[in-house]
Amino acid sequence: MNNIKACIFDLDGVIVDTAIYHYKAWRRLANSLGFDFTEQQNEQLKGVSRVRSLQLILGWGGITKTEAEQEQLATQKNTWYVEMINQMTPAEILPGAREFVQSCRDAGIKTALGSASKNSMTILEKLQIVHLFDAIIDGNKVTKAKPDPEVFLKGAEALGIEPQYCVVFEDAIAGVEAAKAGGMKAIGIGDPKVLYEADLVVSGLKEMTLDKL
């Protein structure tokens, strides 16, 4: 993987573990509709957009809702989610994440955020790491969800670096697929059996060093 000029980071599950807050808020919503879902089912929601997550959850509960009702439910979930992320502190940055992003910058490698979340800015501000990214592309700037490569291609474009010189850090299968579809390298964060399409898999950014790029 030589000649890497830019690193693009997913947020949820790579820089910070917000999955637990998404799970709590979605569960509260499901419970309010009279059903529950497991942590294992929640795994399927990682990297998946808000609307698509709601559709999957409603499917698990065997519930049909109109588009207008779905919008209302997604808004309710987001209100609960935002209440939780507003309480986040820099202590919640995942081990090694800040250090690795900083080491990229020190080495002259450009850095970008590539996240499906429309709440990315709030989270980065709470973690006090907005300044670590040369470009921030999130759910407010894209129209196509991962595994479409749009979010990462926009990140590369904002940095002025061609895709083949970019590496994406992702914890979701759809995210690894998006990176590959965009002609980029992918480093998986998690289980190599799950993220087998990635060029390399590490357990977390604490395991990353520049010589692995």
Q: Please identify every residue annotated as catalytic.
A: 10, 12
The Cα–Cα gap between 167 and 7 comes to: 5
| Beta carbon of residue 123, minimum distance to ligand G6P (angstroms, whole number) | 8
- Pick from 142, 166, 172, 208: which binds Mg ion (CB under 5 A)? 172
CB of 106 to ligand G6P, least distance (A): 28
Binding residues for ligand G6P, total number by CB under 6 A: 15
Cα first-last separation, the chain: 6
In angstroms, the CA 172 to CA 83 distance is 25
- Using CB under 5 A as the binding rule, whether residue 10 contacts Mg ion is answered as yes
Secondary structure class of 7 (helix, strand, coil): strand
**Is 12 a binder of Mg ion (CB under 5 A)?**
yes
The residues, any chain, with a CB within 8 Å of residue 20's CB and separated by 6 or more, are none
> Which residue of 27, 46, 154, 180 would you call a contact of ligand G6P, by CB under 6 A?
46
Least separation in angstroms between CB 202 and Mg ion: 14
Give the range of 44-52, 62-70, 106-114, 129-137 binding ligand G6P by CB under 6 A.
44-52
| 45 interacts with Mg ion by CB under 5 A | no
Q: Which is nearer to ligand G6P, 47 or 163 (CB)?
A: 47
For 63-79, letters b (16+ CB in 10 Å) and e give: eeeeeeeeeebbeebbe
Residue 106's Cβ-count burial label (10 Å; 0-12, 13-18, 19+) is exposed
Q: How far apart are CA 129 and CA 94, in angstroms?
A: 12
Site for ligand G6P contains 170 (CB under 6 A): no
- In single-letter form, the type of residue at position 177 comes to E
CA distance 18 to 25: 11
Q: Which residue is nearest to Mg ion (CB)?
A: 13
Q: Judged by CB under 6 A, does residue 116 bind ligand G6P? A: yes
Cβ–Cβ under 8 Å, residues 14 and 188: no
Does residue 49 touch ligand G6P according to CB under 6 A? yes
| Whole-number Å distance between alpha carbons of 136 and 127 | 15
Looking at 7-15, 77-85, 120-128, 155-163, which segment touches Mg ion (CB under 5 A)? 7-15
Query: Can you give the binding site for Mg ion, defined by CB under 5 A?
Result: 10, 12-13, 47, 171-172
Query: Can you give the binding site for ligand G6P, defined by CB under 6 A?
Result: 12, 22, 45-50, 53, 78, 116-119, 139
